[in-house]
Amino acid sequence: MLGTTLYSMTNEWLAGQYTLGSLIDEVGRRGIGPGVEVIGFQSLRGFPNKVADEELRTLRDAIERNGLVPTSLASNADIALRKDRWMDADRSVEYMRPQIELAGRLGFPVVRTQLGLTPEVLEKVEPLAAKAGVKLGMEVHAPEGPNTPKVMATREAYARIDSEFLGFVPDFSSCMRAIPVGMLDKLRRDGLSEAGVESLERAWQAPGAPFQRYGQFAAECGELGEPELPVGFARLVFTMFGRENLEDWREVLPQVVHIHGKFYDVDDDLTSPSIDYEGVMRVFAELDHQVSMSSEWEGHAYLDADEQDAFDMVARHHAMCSRFLGADQLATV
């Protein structure tokens, strides 16, 4: 089932162009459902335990009147909420509890979780998920991939706990083939020279840990005399855009509970220069169970609302995915 995450419309939301109800109405009007994913801490005032009943009603009513389907409520594992005292396992569990329970009350079948949840916390929140009737989907996002060490620790914990309520949410940022042109243009606008851009692309494509590759780029920029601002901002290039092998997603396919169809660009011929969607869709077409996929446009990291309409981008993404998936597979993914 295709759909959208309201995160795609971050620019429009932050600018106050929409209320929660009118934003979901626009998703319905543009036909970019039926799935709808919501980030609790973005869309709901008072999330997770002080959301007004009226706000919850607004969300439910908007989804219903537009014939949409709630797919995933994205939670956050804010372990460094206090600088002086990070959450221990028990505090993390209590922090996750209302997020999971609210997802259940609102009819979201999946709660997107994050790697901040340790194996010990996972063990303790699993019964909460089972009680609420929601699946916890650990997001696998750049710079991680399906078999990087942090994700392997989660896979091992999952094998030990062995629950149908624990799964994964692959995010295609893990397996990109190029830095989005829009990001490079933003860095050029901020003063990065062509030699700096070439250095960035070289470091991004080099083997090694992301922070080491960034260090190599930053050192070269020092020699080139590049300005500080774009060199600092370019750190994001190494954390947002991963270079894992897309074929590796097969290792977690049976545990996939939802997908983040992350994308930055879709050309007129319905291909994405930065992510090999044909390859990714080929792998995910092998899924043997029904899974929802949110189109997640993140070009708002470097483009303003007046530069790109997020709804149009999501519509193009749907067209691209439909091109690579047959009708029967569209029903699966």
Footprint of other proteins (CB under 8 A): 7, 10-11, 13-16, 39, 41-42, 45-47, 76-84, 86, 114, 116, 186, 189, 300-305
Buried b / exposed e over 304-314, threshold 16 CB at 10 Å, is: ebeebebbebb
Q: Looking at beta carbons, which pairs linking 314-318 to residues 24 or more positions away fall under 8 Å?
A: 314/4, 314/8, 314/30, 314/32, 315/30, 315/31, 315/32, 316/266, 316/270, 317/261, 317/263, 317/266, 318/2, 318/32
Which helix (DSSP H) or strand (DSSP E) does residue 250 occupy? Answer: none
The least distance separating other proteins from the CB of residue 20, rounded to whole angstroms, comes to: 10
SS in 3 state form for 150-167?
HHHHHHHHHHHHCCCCEE
**Nearest alpha-carbon partner for 214 in 190, 193, 243, 191:** 243
- Coil, strand or helix: which one is 13? helix
Q: Between 1 and 197, name the residue whose CB sits nearer to other proteins.
A: 197
Q: Between 60 and 235, name the residue whose CB sits nearer to other proteins.
A: 235
Q: Between 13 and 217, name the residue whose CB sits nearer to other proteins.
A: 13
Q: Between 302 and 311, name the residue whose CB sits nearer to other proteins.
A: 302
The least distance separating other proteins from the CB of residue 80, rounded to whole angstroms, comes to: 4
Report, as residue numbers or ranges, the catalytic residues. 141
The least distance separating other proteins from the CB of residue 57, rounded to whole angstroms, comes to: 18
Between the alpha carbon of residue 76 and those of residues 81, 192, 300, the distances in Å are 11, 34, 20
Sorted by sequence, the CB contacts under 8 Å of residue 82 that are 6+ apart come out as none
The least distance separating other proteins from the CB of residue 311, rounded to whole angstroms, comes to: 16
Judge whether 112 and 73 are in contact, CB under 8 Å.
yes
The least distance separating other proteins from the CB of residue 47, rounded to whole angstroms, comes to: 7
Residue type, 131: K
Q: Between 283 and 305, name the residue whose CB sits nearer to other proteins.
A: 305
Q: Between 233 and 270, name the residue whose CB sits nearer to other proteins.
A: 233
The least distance separating other proteins from the CB of residue 300, rounded to whole angstroms, comes to: 5
Sign, CA torsion 303/309/314/315 = negative
Phi/psi class of residue 166: alpha, beta or left (left: φ > 0; alpha: ψ in -120 to 50)?
A: beta
Distance CA(81)–CA(147), nearest Å, equals 28
Sorted by sequence, the CB contacts under 8 Å of residue 213 that are 6+ apart come out as 203, 204, 206, 238
Residue type, 3: G
- Coil, strand or helix: which one is 265? coil
Q: Between 52 and 159, name the residue whose CB sits nearer to other proteins.
A: 52
The least distance separating other proteins from the CB of residue 46, rounded to whole angstroms, comes to: 7
Which helix (DSSP H) or strand (DSSP E) does residue 66 occupy? Answer: none
